[in-house]
Amino acid sequence: MKRAVILSGGTGSRLKPATANINKHLLPVYSSNGAVPMIYYPIATLVNSGITDILIVSSREHCGRIMEHLSDGKEFHADFTYKIQDTAHAPMGIASALKLARNFTNDEKFAVILGDNFFEDFFQEEFAQFSRSNDSASIFLKEVHDPQRFGVYADGQIEEKPIVPKSNWAVSGLYLYTPNVYDIANTLVVSARGELEVSDINSYYCQRSMHVNYIKGFWSDCGTVESMLKTQNWLNQCE
């Protein structure tokens, strides 16, 4: 597996007013060693897991600034390609953005990571195992105290942001897919939120051929003020 996609669109509504004029993935995450844009962390996760050919998908409003910050990827020892998600003419959502990667990944297995996710761990072994396997998809779970914020995995099924979660196992923003994911994405219907949901894709695979990984180290998204603060506090404790 040689390629990966970073999804960095969205409106960042839970971080407003800080995101009124900037993509949330460019917001600084502070630590005792300074501050770097949020998106640097998922880039590091991929590069340190052995993937350096990376497509970055963002919105029409913000893609230019992301390109200015990241350039061609040489600073990260990677090769970056960019794609614009024009939500004025298509539904929003992770699955909608994912569909734009088809010409980039071609007929290869690939990784997808959300641009606001922070992982302590690297995943060389998990990526290599998926490359060798016959699995159609792979997800990464972390036990959390607030599972109602996430897609929740229980009894071989995924439920999106349940009011009463059946487990504490949250589905993190890292997924491994085979090329048939695009055919599945094309069958999705828009959810009540007006989006094409990645949970619907993963639920499809759960009924067929899904491999489940369990995250050992720290994981958090940075999509809310609380979760960004949680990440910054963890970084400060470790440095």
State the pairing for strand pair 117-119/219-221.
antiparallel
Residue 98 contacts residue 172 (beta carbons within 8 Å): no
Q: Which residue has the higher pLDDT, 88 or 177?
A: 177
**Would you say residue 27 lies in a domain?**
yes
Q: Mind listing the pLDDT tens digit for each residue in 19-62?
A: 777 888 999 998 877 889 999 999 999 999 999 999 999 988 88
**pLDDT attached to residue 34:** 83
This prediction has a pTM of 0.94
Print the domain residue range for 32: 3-142+172-238
Specify the number of domains making up the chain.
Answer: 1
Residue 168 has pLDDT above 70, yes or no: yes
Hey, how many other C-beta atoms are within 10 angstroms of the C-beta on 98?
24
Amino acid at 235: L
Tokens of 136: 């159609």
Is there a domain that residue 159 lies in?
A: no
The mean of the pLDDT values for the chain is 90
Q: What is the pLDDT of residues 186-220, one digit of tens each?
A: 998 888 777 888 889 999 999 888 999 999 999 99
**Quick check: is 93 in a domain?**
yes
Residue 138 lies in a domain: yes
In this predicted model, which residue has the larger pLDDT, 186 or 3? 3
In a domain, 177, yes or no: yes
Interstrand relation of 137-143 and 169-177 (parallel, antiparallel or unpaired): antiparallel
User: Is 12 inside a domain boundary?
Assistant: yes
176 inside domain: yes
How far apart (Å, rounded) are the C-alpha atoms in residues 146 and 168? 7
Q: Is the pLDDT of residue 161 over 80?
A: yes
Return the CATH number at 44.
Answer: 3.90.550.10
Please report the pLDDT score of residue 12 as a whole number. Answer: 62
In a domain, 161, yes or no: no
